[in-house]
Amino acid sequence: MVREICASIPPVGLGTFRLKHDAVKPVLRDAIRLGYRHIDTAAIYRNEAEIGEVLQEFYASDEYNIAREDLWITSKLSPYDMATPRNALLKSLAALQTPYLDLYLIHWPAMARKPASSPENKRLRLEAWGVLNEARKQGLVRHIGVSNFTVEHLRELSETEWGIKDAFVQMEIHPWYWRDAAEIQTDFEGHNLSMVGYALLAEGKLMADDCPELIEGIAQRTSLTKVQVVLSWARKRGWAILVKSENETHLRQNLDIPEVMDTLTADDISAIDEISLGGEEKRCWDPRLVK
Ligand SMILES: NC(=O)c1ccc[n+]([C@@H]2O[C@H](COP(=O)([O-])OP(=O)(O)OC[C@H]3O[C@@H](n4cnc5c(N)ncnc54)[C@H](OP(=O)(O)O)[C@@H]3O)[C@@H](O)[C@H]2O)c1
């Protein structure tokens, strides 16, 4: 089942993980000049203040004519701040020098330094969800959501007084691991969830020697790169995508995915879907152990 993401989110976002402090600045400047309007950060990436500084440069510049409302800014509640979500949100707003976020996510379903099996995790994430809902009502955030939540974690939220209608879900998605994302969409059909994928290149597996010939073949036939093939597959499936690049050519190629994605046929999409039938391979942190 394919359901399109919330119409107002730019479908290709700039990832900023591992671009700590000043390292994010040249990348963000290049990205905004090239046309990126969706920036994904998080308190634990340690770059919100530097992103805020670069954005101020653009707001002040006559050359680009960029205002706050032209951008989509996502940030995330750190697992270290699960017990103080409102304070954490206010800190992110101050660091990013913005009165509101377009999207604020609970980054991880557990508190840092607590065992995954601790019942405290559930209490904290439900309380945090209440705080995020209140913040949305107060206009501090336009949209709210969760990241790295399983179907079970989402079900708990859906049973709270706030529910999960119109929420965003950010999670690992690539040809070797995408069925959990599809299951969430199927199980919560009717809740109008928007999915955003990260680690689309499967933490390097797409570039490895054992990358399936199928992807190479589609790349050769369509004259796209392997990365463009996989990003197009994800967009054709209706997911927004986050990609990080420090290379200008790559930044351009990634931003242009909406223009090239229709090069893939329905058969290409189904064939890429089947790659994970050989066994799902999750590459990033795994929330399935979190109670
Ligand atoms: N919610 C979460 O828990 C979570 C977890 C992980 C990531 N994220 C978000 O998702 C974003 C993306 O994930 P990521 O940063 O881990 O990695 P990624 O975007 O999947 O991969 C980044 C790598 O891909 C390369 N690359 C990018 N575009 C390319 C292209 N067109 N052709 C060839 N190589 C390309 C980059 O190298 P070059 O610099 O050479 O292009 C870089 O080495 C993060 O930055 C973050 O914002 C969220």
Backbone angles phi, psi at 58, to 5 degrees: -70, -40
Displacement of CA 259 from its chain's centroid (Å): 20
Q: Is 143 helix (H, G, I), strand (E, B) or coil?
A: strand
Neighbours of 207 (CB within 10 A): 11
**153, 184 contact by CB (below 8 A):** no
C-alpha of residue 204 to centroid of ligand 1, in Å: 9
**In whole angstroms, what is the distance from residue 258 CA to residue 12 CA?**
8
Q: Is 198 a catalytic residue?
A: no
C-alpha of residue 198 to centroid of ligand 1, in Å: 7
Q: Ligand 1, from 147, 201, 259: best to mutate by most atoms within 8 Å of Cβ?
A: 201
**Residue in 45, 104, 177, 198 annotated catalytic:** 45
Neighbours of 153 (CB within 10 A): 23
In the block, which residue shows the tokens 């107060």?
A: 138
**In whole angstroms, what is the distance from residue 209 CA to residue 186 CA?**
34
Q: Is 59 helix (H, G, I), strand (E, B) or coil?
A: helix
Residue pLDDT tens, the chain, 291 long: 556 677 799 999 999 999 999 999 999 999 999 999 999 999 999 999 999 999 999 999 999 999 999 999 999 999 999 999 999 999 999 999 999 999 999 999 999 999 999 999 999 999 999 999 999 999 999 999 999 999 999 999 999 999 999 999 999 999 999 999 999 999 999 999 999 999 999 999 999 988 999 999 999 999 999 999 999 999 999 999 999 999 999 999 999 999 999 999 999 999 999 999 988 899 999 999 999
Asked whether the CA dihedral 79, 124, 83, 14 is positive or negative, the reply is: positive
Q: Provide the total of helices (H) and of strands (E) in the chain, helices listed first.
A: 11, 8
Residues whose beta carbon lies within 6 Å of some atom of ligand 1? 15-17, 40, 107, 147-148, 170, 198-201, 225, 227, 242-247, 250, 253-254, 284
Q: Give 152-184 pLDDT, tens digit per residue.
A: 999 999 999 999 999 999 999 999 999 999 999
107 marked as part of a ligand binding site: yes
Q: Give 211-241 pLDDT, tens digit per residue.
A: 999 999 999 999 999 999 999 999 999 999 9
